[in-house]
Structure 1
Amino acid sequence: MAKDETLDRRIQEEIEGRIVSGDWPPGYRIPFEVDLAAQYGCSRMTVNKVLTRLASAGLLERRRRSGTVVTRPVAQSAVLEIHDIESEVKSLNLPYDYQLVRRVQRKFRAADAARLALPPSASILELHCIHLAGRKPFCHEDRIINLDAVPDAAEVDFTGTAPGPWLINQVPWSTAEHLIRAVAAGEDQAKALEIAPGTACLVVERRTWNDIGMITHVRLTYPGDRHALVAQFSPQGARA
Structure 2
Amino acid sequence: MTMAETRLEAVKLDGAGPVYDQIRRAIRDLILNGVWSPGTSVPPEHALMEQLGASRMTVHRALVQLAREGLITRRRRSGTIVASPPASHAMLDILSIPDEVRGLGQAYAYEILSRRDGRPSAELASHFGLKRSERVAHLVTRHFSSGQPHVLEERVIHLATVPAAAEEDFKATPPGDWLLQHSLWSQAEHAISAIAAEAEEARLLAIEAGTACLLVERRTWNQGAPVTAVRLLYPGTRHRFVGRFGPYGQV
Give the TM-score normalised by structure 1: 0.63
Tell me the alpha carbon deviations over residues 123-168 of structure 1, each in whole angstroms, 9 at most, x when there is no partner.
1100000110111110100001111111110001113320001101
| Higher relative contact order (Cα pairs below 8 Å, separated by 6+ residues) | 1
Aligned to 1:153: 165
Tell me the alpha carbon deviations over residues 53-88 of structure 1, each in whole angstroms, 9 at most, x when there is no partner.
xxxxxxxxxxxxxxxxxxxxxxxx622211111111
Q: Which runs of 5+ in 2 are unaligned?
A: 1-88
Aligned to 2:105: 93
Q: After TM superposition, where is structure 1 displaced by more than 3 Å over at least 4 residues in a row?
A: 109-119
Q: Determine if contact 2:125/2:132 at 8 Å carries over to the other structure.
A: no
1:212 positional shift:
5.4
Counterparts of 1:194-209 in structure 2, within 5 Å, are: 194-209=206-221
Q: Determine if contact 1:115/1:217 at 8 Å carries over to the other structure.
A: no
Partners in 1 of 2:193 and 2:225 — Cα distance? 25
Paired letter, 2:193: R
Change (3 A) 1:236 1:88: closer
How many residues in Structure 1 have an aligned counterpart in Structure 2?
162
Structure with the greater alpha carbon radius of gyration: 1
Tell me the alpha carbon deviations over residues 159-178 of structure 1, each in whole angstroms, 9 at most, x when there is no partner.
33200011011111000000
Percent identity, aligned pairs only, is 43
Q: From 121, 127, 137, give the equivalent of 2:139.
A: 127
1:187 positional shift:
1.0
1:106 positional shift:
2.0
Tell me the alpha carbon deviations over residues 24-54 of structure 1, each in whole angstroms, 9 at most, x when there is no partner.
xxxxxxxxxxxxxxxxxxxxxxxxxxxxxxx
Paired letter, 1:163: P
Change (3 A) 1:235 1:114: farther
Q: Determine if contact 1:117/1:214 at 8 Å carries over to the other structure.
A: no
Change (3 A) 1:115 1:148: farther
Q: Which runs of 5+ in 1 are unaligned?
A: 1-76
Q: From 161, 178, 202, give the equivalent of 1:166.
A: 178
Give the TM-score normalised by structure 2: 0.60
Question: What is the root-mean-square deviation of aligned Cα atoms in Å?
Answer: 2.0
